[in-house]
Structure 1
Amino acid sequence: MARDVQITFDCADPAGLAAFWAEALGYRLQDPPAGFDSWEQALAAMGVPPERRNDASAVVDPDGSGPRLFFQRVPEGKQAKNRAHLDVRAAPGLDGDARMAALEAAAERLVARGATRLGRHEPAPPLGAGHLVMADPEGNEFCLD
């Protein structure tokens, strides 16, 4: 039986990182609970003190097909290279120069949102199509593929 998957990020700023990944993936912030117009309103009604209202955030795929991404505040910063990372499919079906141009355009857009560019791997046929290595605003590595 297939299982639903949620991807969880430990981070310092859940709301900020959720906004970044919503932009990167074309996701949206998860709606607040029924009966509330905003998360701020819901958290206030739940008695969550203001200083704890950025302890968690989540983004979801608007069409419901992709996994939910959950962001939780932790006290420690990132310590080492990720052992697992996301590949953002920014150039599906493209090859060569067209592929790399599409990846570069996606990288520019994400750098403007706080990402860092870490490296470029040129196409190396037959198996290497080329990709860019990036880091999100908190240093989590991902690839534009």
Structure 2
Amino acid sequence: MALGWKLVVDSANAPVLADFWAAALDYEVEDPSALIERLLAAGHVDEEAIIEHRGRELFRGYSAIRHPEDPYDEVSGVGHGRRLLFQDVPEGKSGKNRLHIDVHGEPGGLDKLVTRLEGLGATRLREVDRGQAGHWWIMQDPEGNEFCVA
């Protein structure tokens, strides 16, 4: 039986990084507001564990995005498919990513996609052109995590 999974990305500001990646991938930011309200009302979490970001209540230090076509739990807002969870950690990024995301655009649309991602806050690092083997850009998200765009 195949296992479910999510990719967890360490961050300094989870909601802001989730906003970037949701816009970059055309994903949806998960909305845990209904779950948070239930947990607060039942006394299972304290107000200090909650923040507001863009009019939504979120768990402090966490924010997730999911593919808009994948199923999700309507009570918790948690996706059951392609999902990225951003979690705040105290230390900053210290080296090259050991795992990264490859973003693939439409054929012939590399320049347009790179420019769009720059407009969202990404930075170009290096262009790679391997002829028939491929052409892509290595970029960084707003917190310095590398990813490739092809």
Deviation digits for residues 75-130 of structure 1 (CA, Å, limit 9, x no counterpart): 11000000111101113xx2xxx2xxx111111111111111011112511xx121
1:26 correspondence with 2:26: yes
Counting strand residues as a fraction of each chain, which structure ranks higher? 2
**Aligned residues with identical type, % of pairs:** 40
Q: CA RMSD in A?
A: 2.3
1:47 correspondence with 2:39: no
CA contact (8 A) 1:6 1:69 kept: yes
1:63 correspondence with 2:62: no
User: What is the TM-score with the length of structure 1 in the denominator?
Assistant: 0.79
**Match for 2:21: what amino acid?**
W
Cα distance change of structure 1 residues 123 and 3 upon mapping to structure 2, 3 Å threshold: same
**Structure 1: which 5+ runs fail to align?**
none
Cα distance change of structure 1 residues 43 and 123 upon mapping to structure 2, 3 Å threshold: farther
**Match for 2:144: what amino acid?**
G
**Match for 1:58: what amino acid?**
A
Task: Describe the SS at the equivalent of 2:86.
Answer: strand
Task: Describe the SS at the equivalent of 1:31.
Answer: coil
**Match for 2:12: what amino acid?**
A
Q: What CA distance in whole angstroms lies between the structure 1 residues aligned with 2:91 and 2:7?
A: 19
**Structure 2: which 5+ runs fail to align?**
52-58, 72-80
**Match for 1:104: what amino acid?**
D
Q: What CA distance in whole angstroms lies between the structure 2 residues aligned with 1:2 and 1:133?
A: 31
CA contact (8 A) 1:131 1:144 kept: yes
1:80 maps to 95
CA contact (8 A) 1:115 1:135 kept: yes
1:122 maps to 129
**Match for 1:57: what amino acid?**
S
User: What is the TM-score with the length of structure 2 in the denominator?
Assistant: 0.77
